Structure 1
Amino acid sequence: MLKILVVEDDTNTRKLMCAVLKQNGFEPYGAEDGIAALQFMETQHVDLVVLDLMMPNMDGYELTRQLRLSWETLPILMVTAKQEPQDKRQGFLAGTDDYMTKPVDEEEMVLRIKALLRRAQIASDRKLTVGTAVLDYDTLTVSRADQVITLPQKEFYLLFKLLSYPNMIFTRLQLMEEIWGMGTETDDHTLNVHINRLRDRFRDWTEFEIVTVRGLGYKAVKKR
């Protein structure tokens, strides 16, 4: 089973989160603060960390920075009552992969954890398989049978992101910040151009398609 470390100073919250994770097939462990979490990870392998922000001895921001020094690719999910945009931004700058605000929807937390673990596996393999199509992160290629298409970097990253989470809707802002960076001055037109180029390139492919969700953004759909 995949091991998940829950770092939360509130005992009841920590126990509840561990119980939910155990019910969903994970092997959860608890730590009351950042120092205890780091001590635990010195002797135990962990597949993902769920951590609170407001904790004694070491807050979640500092714990995330410390984790990134030794476990660069470890998936991290911040869960906190702090809801201001600057708090979320600070969390991502510290190195978290995802961010949820309390009160936490248990089902959503499990779904996010599964998505992060899947993303971590994809990042480790650096390849993504969709039907008979294979996306290779190192060569920026999409291939099937004897057909290979090499994409410009931004187009590849955009397609890889969408296909890593099939059927998940991404807003235009999410995609622009993910592909072009936070604070980018990239506008909707640039994103639309890249989406249309991808649609033209893969118009005849039966493995996937990019769908516009009116008023929201885009999602990738597996055809078979």
Structure 2
Amino acid sequence: MTRLLVVDDEATVRELLSATLRFAGFEVTSAATATEAVAAAVAEPPDLVLLDVMLPDLDGFEVVRRLRDQRAEVPVLFLTARDRQADKITGLSLGADDYVTKPFDLEELIARIRAILRRTSGHRNDVLTVGPLTLDAEGHQLTKAGQALRLSPTEFRLLHYLMENAGRVVSKGQILDRVWRYDFNGDTSIVDTYISYLRRKVDDADPKLIHTVHGVGYVMRKP
């Protein structure tokens, strides 16, 4: 059974979410603090974490940072009253898979959860090679000239999308739809930010693999 971890300091929210998600067929555990959440996610990684930003000890952004520092690559969906665009971009830039603001529709939330689970499990079914890069989607591993590289879950999905479309120009809108599946109301700056992350981590030598097509998007080309 798919296991979810609900993290929220409000007991009523935890209870409502847990009951609803169990009724939808998920196994659910919960945590009221950031410290409890990190310990639970590292000890027994769930299939997805539903995470509030405002917690009594540390904020949700710091929870994601600590999970990534401990190499816990569990998918994260922020569920919070913090609705500023800057907060959304911060959360997603840290590697979260979605950002939902309160109040929220329970049916839509469940649909988003299922979409993340399909996306994070469905792409792990092949091995792609472009130049010195080899990406094993099933094993969630990346090597460059035989040397292992570490990427965040979002960076991994973005690189996977570019590699599976090698030689084909993909627009920022297509990338948002495939990698994030999130409506940024026309703001595609998050794509540029993550492309820069990838360039620093996997494409820092010549010949370059990731190319900008001005006014269109990006393309990965074999050297």
TM-score (ref. length: structure 2): 0.63
Equivalent residue of 2:100, what SS?
Answer: strand
The Cα of 1:124 is off from its aligned counterpart by 2.9
Give the secondary structure class of the aligned counterpart of 2:49.
strand
Alignment partner of 1:173 out of 183, 186, 190:
186
Closer, same or farther: CA 140–55 of 1 in aligned 2, 3 Å: closer
Alignment of 1:152-171 (within 5 A): 152=167, 154-155=169-170
Change (3 A) 1:54 1:82: same
Q: Secondary structure, in 3 states, of the residue corresponding to 2:119?
A: helix
Distance 1:180-1:139 versus aligned 2 partners, 3 A rule: closer
1:140/1:153 contact within 8 Å kept: no
- Listed one character per residue, the Cα deviations across residues 76-118 of structure 1 (whole Å, up to 9, x for unaligned) are 0001111111111221233211101101110111111111111
2:101 match: 101
Contact 2:7–2:49 (Cα < 8 Å) also in 1: yes
Matches within 5 A, 1:38-117: 38-71=38-71, 73-117=73-117
Once residues 186 and 19 of structure 2 are traced to their aligned partners in structure 1, the CA distance between those partners, rounded to angstroms, is: 35
Query: Matched residues in 1 for 2:83 and 2:186: separation?
Result: 19
**SS of alignment partner, residue 79 of structure 2:** strand
Aligned residue in 2 for 1:18: 18
Q: Give the 3-state SS of the residue equivalent to 2:87 in structure 1.
A: helix
Tell me the equivalent position of 1:218.
none
Aligned partner letter, 1:173 = G
Structure 1 CA distance, aligned partners of 2:161 and 2:4?
29
Aligned to 1:190: 216
In the TM superposition, what is the alpha-carbon distance from 1:160 to its structure 2 partner?
7.7
Cα distance, 1:31 vs. partner?
Answer: 0.4
Question: Which ranges of structure 1 fall in alignment gaps of 5 or more residues?
Answer: 129-136, 142-149, 195-224
Alignment CA distance shift 1:69-1:123 (3 Å): farther
Kindly tell me the number of residue pairs found equivalent between the two proteins. Answer: 174
C-alpha contact 1:21 1:110 (8 A) present in aligned 2: yes
- Over aligned residue pairs, what C-alpha RMSD do you find? 3.8
User: Given the superposition, is the C-alpha separation of residues 50 and 35 from structure 1 closer, same or farther in structure 2, using an over 3 Å criterion?
Assistant: same
Residue type of the alignment partner of 1:155: V
Give the deviation of 1:41 after TM superposition.
2.6
